[in-house]
Amino acid sequence: MELDGLVPQNEEVVTWDINDIKLPKDVKQTDWFQEWPDSYVRCIYSSDDKNAQRHLSSWAMRNTNNHNSRILKKSCLGVVVCGRDCLSLDGRKMYLRPAICDKARQKQQKKSCPNCSGPLKLIPCRGHGGYPVTNFWRHEGPFIFFQSKGTHDHPRPETKSEAEARRSIQKAKLPASPRLKQSRDTESLTGKTQTWNPLPLIVSKQEDLLSQSSSFMGHFRDKTPQEQALNTCLSLTKSYSSAKTPDLVEHPQNMDCNKYLSKCKLSGSRDYSYREPMEPTAFVYDEPRQHQTWSKNASLEKNSPAERYRNSSTTIFAGLHCETLTSVNALDVGIQYAPNRWEPTVKVDCHSFRSHASTFGGGTTEGKPHQNYSGSNIPSSFYQASPEDPCVMADTDHHYCQNSLPFKGNEWCFEEERKYTNADHCNSEMLLNIFSLR
DNA sequence: GGATGCGGGCGGT
DNA sequence: ACCGCCCGCATCC
Ligand SMILES: [Zn+2]
Ligand SMILES: [Zn+2]
């Protein structure tokens, strides 16, 4: 059942559908990227939004063929849980991210629970009429239209970055020789149980993670733990960032956290080409020429300085990446935890922000930058910790990064920002903190 | 290796 | 026609 118009996006009534021949062209404001879109929502992202460009979602979504090259369709793979419903030390369940690749997923299901070595179980998504929730992406001019159909009927899996972190850590900790590796593959192919994550990655204390991390990293003779960690961190953010972090690369061990943090403040999106909102017409689905032409016209020429300014800040937010928002948990536990009692999320808004001077000129972050970016449920890093817990520190840093974006956007901020592409540095820094605190 | 996209093909409604 | 989905191919990291 469609809920057309019932969930106003952008404080306006949604009048479009992803399948419409024409999509709205007079978009006054774009939405914050949603990491966990759920239910029947529709969003309009800026085409500058890196996450939207990559069609990212923290749900495990896989591409599916809808025989329509204009609209990218993805369906949810659900979540992987322990077949024994085991709990971590702190009493939380873990929710692993299903591998997106079919082959990899099959392999994954042969592995065993990293916590109790029990079998893993894939909970399929049946949130859309008994079928997986589907997401649709459609690029149109300066916007990326997004639509979700169905409500996930399962817990959230670990995020993409968390899953990547897990892989990196596992790879790093098992610099297995080719021979050993081969036997392992054979084992998995024959269906024998293989503990997915032999190392006790499931820990409830950051302390534990730290010690474990540095211990396995200590195996590398040629690199310091910091360097090793850094490599991991950088590799994790690589796919999201086109920026270089020369300081870190060249002098990781000398990197000062505060210094690094200051860079976080300047982090944002790299691409500032913005397009003016269109005349109140629409994007024509079946007339590629039209929107292409339009795109060209609108791209760069019509921007007045004021427009450029406000638009650039718009882009700054749009450029924030998933990792920035998933916080330090990329390495904190590596696994998505949640309370034992899982409640389906009912409502999710597209957190939009006004692309008006008020949002910017104020120089505040009142444009609800903190508003549950991840929707109305448990934070990805569901983590009980004491104030002195390193994790808290890291998380604080994370928020700081998010709040410290150059809202005021003077020319300097603007330029500086271009140097430090995006907020991924925040993430890298957090990761670095984790490993270097010791 | 695995994430992502693409698109041919098949079967069900 | 629309949808779910399997499968191989290609690209990129
Ligand atoms: Zn288990
Ligand atoms: Zn789902």
- What does A214-254 look like in DSSP terms, one character per residue? HHHHTT-SSS-HHHHHHHHHHHHHHTT-----HHHHH-GGG
Q: How far apart are CA A256 and CA A376, in angstroms?
A: 35
Identity at A307, one-letter amino acid code: E
Could you read off the pLDDT of A246-281 as tens digits, one per residue?
Answer: 333 333 333 333 333 233 222 333 333 333 344 445
User: For residue A169, what pLDDT band results from cuts at 50, 70 and 90?
Assistant: confident
User: For residue A170, what pLDDT band results from cuts at 50, 70 and 90?
Assistant: confident
Q: Is A342 exposed, middle or buried (0-12, 13-18, 19+ CB in 10 A)?
A: middle
Question: What is the structure's pLDDT at A349?
Answer: 42
Distances (CA, A) of A9 to A54, A150, A277, A317, A343: 21, 17, 17, 17, 24
Q: How far apart are CA A256 and CA A262, in angstroms?
A: 10
Distance (Å) from CA A383 to ligand 1 centroid: 19
Question: What is the structure's pLDDT at A195?
Answer: 53
Distance (Å) from CA A355 to ligand 2 centroid: 32
Distance (Å) from CA A118 to ligand 1 centroid: 5
Q: How far apart are CA A120 and CA A408, in angstroms?
A: 49
Could you read off the pLDDT of A310-343 as tens digits, one per residue?
Answer: 333 222 333 334 444 333 333 333 345 554 445 5
Distance A155 CA to B13 C1' (A): 30
Arithmetic mean of pLDDT over chain A: 58
Question: What is the structure's pLDDT at A40?
Answer: 95
Whether A127 sits with its Cβ under 7 A from any strand C atom: the answer reads no
Identity at A46, one-letter amino acid code: S
Q: How far apart are CA A354 and CA A429, in angstroms?
A: 30
Can you tell me the ipTM of this complex? 0.97
Does pLDDT of A114 surpass 70?
yes
Q: Higher model confidence: residue A78 or residue A326?
A: A78
Q: Higher model confidence: residue A321 or residue A209?
A: A321
Enumerate residues with CB within 5 Å of ligand 2 (an ion): A 76, 125, 133, 152
What kind and span of H or E run contains A178? helix A178-189
Question: What is the structure's pLDDT at A209?
Answer: 33
Closest residue to C7 measured CA to C1′: A102
Q: Which one, of A263, A229, A206, A267, lies nearest residue A392 by Cα?
A: A206
Distance A101 CA to C7 C1' (A): 12
Mean pLDDT highest for which of A127-136, A187-196, A253-262?
Answer: A127-136
Question: What is the structure's pLDDT at A357?
Answer: 29
Distance A165 CA to B3 C1' (A): 14
Whether A70 sits with its Cβ under 7 A from any strand B atom: the answer reads no
CB atoms within 10 A of CB A177: 8
Does pLDDT of A41 surpass 90?
yes
Enumerate residues with CB within 5 Å of ligand 1 (an ion): A 82, 84, 86, 113, 115-116, 118
pTM for this entry:
0.58
Q: Which residue has the tokens 């993805």?
A: A74
Q: How far apart are CA A403 and CA A2, in angstroms?
A: 36
What kind and span of H or E run contains A394? helix A390-403
Question: What is the structure's pLDDT at A172?
Answer: 78
Tell me the CB-side half-sphere exposure of residue A57, using CA atoms within 13 A. Answer: 29
